[in-house]
Amino acid sequence: MTSELEILDRTRLAAGFLKVDRFTLRHRLHAGGMSAPLSREVLRRGPAAAVLLYDPAHDAVTLVEQFRIGPHIAGLPAWVLEVVAGLVEPGESPIDVARREAREEAGAEISAIAPLLRFTASPGCSDETIDLFIARVDSTALSGIHGLADEGEDIRVVVMPRAEAYAACGDGRIANAITLVAIQWLELNRDRLPALWS
């Protein structure tokens, strides 16, 4: 127990592809004191890394498109345009994951990389944290279908002008939070990249 949070109980509800725990807890109240006991389920994803692949020579971003069941269930398109991303495995650093996933998902070799932000993906229901990076790549040879067959991945590389990617954030073609954050960051901070990559 800390002065702000007391975990009273934890129960594992699911341990398949996704892990879900139920916590019984009390937390500090803004007005003072502690809450009554609450029950909250948490999707246990853990740390992940995501990287926006940017080619400054051609002012283009490289995204990937793959099937995602969550958006489909929510009534959105099931094939999602997104930045390269993956979960951090034991013994890996987030930057290692960014480099590995760039090769696995897009066939891309990173020539420079910089950290941008660390944030939670969906704080109301998940413990997933995202370390977001921006990497310099040569996009001219990036294309095709990638991914690991043993993980059921079927990932298509999509290279598009930066301006089109930014427009896609406003017209609904890009509708996932991590990619929206990454492309918005690029639009606001592109002039900072040489210093970040040096």
Note whether 160 and 61 are within 8 A (CB): yes
Report the mean per-residue pLDDT for the chain: 94
Provide the pLDDT for residue 1. Answer: 58
Q: Name the phi and psi angles at 70, rounded to 5.
A: -55, -55
| Cβ within 8 Å of residue 78, ≥6 positions away | 67, 68, 69, 71, 72
Supply the pTM of this predicted model.
Answer: 0.92
Number of H helices, E strands in the chain: 5, 11
Phi, psi (rounded to 5 degrees) for 174: -110, 120
| pLDDT computed for residue 134 by the predictor | 98
**Which residue out of 105, 151, 153, 164 is catalytically annotated?**
151
Q: Is 197 exposed, middle or buried (0-12, 13-18, 19+ CB in 10 A)?
A: middle
**pLDDT tens for each residue of 45-69:** 999 999 999 999 999 999 999 999 9
For the chain, what are the domain ranges? 5-44, 47-197
d(CA 115, CA 167): 24
User: Per residue in 14-50, pLDDT tens?
Assistant: 998 889 999 999 999 999 999 999 999 999 999 999 9
Q: What is the largest CA-CA distance in the chain?
A: 59
Q: Structurally, what CATH architecture does the domain formed by 47-197 represent?
A: Alpha-Beta Complex (3.90)
Q: Establish whether 151 is a catalytic residue.
A: yes
Ramachandran assignment for 162, one of left (phi > 0), alpha (psi -120 to 50 degrees), beta (any other): alpha
Share of the chain above pLDDT 90, in %: 91
φ, ψ of residue 191 in degrees (nearest 5): -70, -15
